[in-house]
Amino acid sequence: MNFEKLFALAKEKGIEDLQVYYVDDNQFDIEVFKNELEKYTIANTQKLSVKGIYDSKMGTVTTEVINEEVFDFLIDSVIASAKTIDSEDEVFIYAGDKEYKNVPGLFNESIYDVSAKQKIQDVLDLEKKVLEKDERIKMVQAFYSDGAVEVTIENSKGLKLSKKVNDGLIGVYVIASDGKDQRTGIDYIRSNDYADFDFETVAEEGAKRAVSLLGATACDSGQYEILLSKEASASLLTPHVGMFSAESVQKDISLLKGKVGQLIANTNITVIDDPFMKKSAKSGSFDDEGVATTYKELVKDGVLTGFMHNLKTAKKDHTKSTGNGFIGRGIAPTNLYIKPGDLSYDDAVKSMKKGLIITELAGTHSGTDPISGDFSLQASGFLVEDGAVVRPVALITVAGNYLQVLKDVKAVCNDLKFNFGYIGSPSLLIHSLMVSGK
């Protein structure tokens, strides 16, 4: 798509600077159920987001109808939007950085060397593998998806950037039943290299998760030592990621405001945002504002080192953008995770005298309050006594404060895993949390 005419029209109508963000997206999804193809989706879409500075305000518009006939509408919308905004924040169209890191391997053609037919067969086989694991497995949904995204940014200051990324996902959602109780388990692998898809491991893990929870009941209420599994920890971290955003700090809704240089977590905690991580569709050398992305340890050995910035918040704080400006999300991480430690998960379990392994937290979008850090969440997992799992536990709630949890981390395991939202964590051993059960 040639945007020269759009830039010319913007200039003619009095827009100081204009930037286009164009994304071309290809998606492929399959899901199988009871040895049949349950879902098969192919898609190709384009979206154009335009922003422009008019009278020192930033107007925006988005469209999926992309042709020269909508150019007038786009420019008029940008102007109308800018005229309505009265926020006095300074706005920017970025001329670009001197250098953008070359990030190899973000697009891997190999995923398309495998035919759709083969992928369907692999997922059918995956479902079969899970069903063969245990007779109590009643139902499996096995899925595969891949997506490729091509992003182009161009602006009136001469910046031209583009990147192409892709990744794929295989996984299983498993329902197990013993006639009385029904439990679910999920496992998945994400990568842009088809060779990484270890179907056997996914089948094994997904099956184990559902079956091992069968017969789960509530435990007694009280304070328990907690082993927060890698999945549970990532799902608890996710709603709290906003506290690392400079925007949250400036709006005074971050728990970490004014705490740079202070110990905000146990010294065994390091939190990293890594835009250069291999095989992730979230990786790239620039953000949606065209700013070069940066690798950073937001928390190093428990000490808060800084926040994620976009152009606007960086200007306010007299600093540089960290390359975390993303359309529709304001400031967001790329691949954010808690750095893994040395302890193995099994050794963590063995170290517990009496405690709970929390493998799943439900409702983290509603049961957390990122402004106060307080949370109260439905949980399931296992009761541990003298270093061994005694029985599965469900229908309990765990409550606490997230910053307190980070301070109470006794040990960090070595089993880092990312969730669907590209937020990752290893399992964490926590001194104690309030558990409400029977």
In sequence order, what are the residues at sequence separation of 6 or more whose Cβ sits closer than 8 angstroms to the Cβ of residue 88?
Answer: none
Spatial distance between the Cα atoms of 163 and 275, rounded to a whole number of angstroms = 13
Spatial distance between the Cα atoms of 186 and 162, rounded to a whole number of angstroms = 35
Q: How far is the CB of 386 from another protein (least distance, A)?
A: 25
Q: How far is the CB of 21 from another protein (least distance, A)?
A: 13
Instruction: Determine the interface stretch with another protein among 66-74, 97-105, 201-209, 422-430 (rule: CB under 8 A).
Output: 66-74
User: Are the CB atoms for 48 and 25 separated by under 8 Å?
Assistant: no
Q: Which long-range contacts (CB under 8 A, 24 or more apart) does 296-301 make?
A: 296/272, 296/322, 297/270, 297/271, 297/272, 297/339, 298/244, 298/271, 298/272, 298/273, 298/336, 299/264, 299/265, 299/269, 299/270, 299/271, 300/270, 301/267, 301/268, 301/269, 301/270
Instruction: Determine the interface stretch with another protein among 80-88, 125-133, 381-389, 410-418 (rule: CB under 8 A).
Output: 80-88
Pick 31 or 273: Cβ nearer another protein: 31
Q: How far is the CB of 176 from another protein (least distance, A)?
A: 9
H/E element, 78: helix 71-84
Choosing from 65, 95, 260, 388, the residue that interacts with another protein (CB under 8 A) is 65
Rule CB under 8 A: say whether 200 interacts with another protein.
no
Q: Angle at Cα 345 formed by Cα 216 and Cα 434, nearest 5°? A: 50
Choosing from 1, 14, 35, 40, the residue that interacts with another protein (CB under 8 A) is 40
Q: How far is the CB of 417 from another protein (least distance, A)?
A: 21
Rule CB under 8 A: say whether 113 interacts with another protein.
no
Spatial distance between the Cα atoms of 240 and 339, rounded to a whole number of angstroms = 16
CA distance between the termini of the chain: 62
Choosing from 35, 201, 221, 267, the residue that interacts with another protein (CB under 8 A) is 221
* Touching another protein, residues 356-385 (CB under 8 A): 362-363, 365-367, 369, 371-372, 374, 376-378, 380
Pick 63 or 351: Cβ nearer another protein: 63
- Residues lying near another protein in the complex (CB under 8 A) are found at 33-34, 36-46, 59-66, 70, 73, 77, 80-81, 84-89, 138-139, 175, 181-184, 218, 221-222, 251-253, 362-363, 365-367, 369, 371-372, 374, 376-378, 380, 394-397, 399-400, 434, 436-438
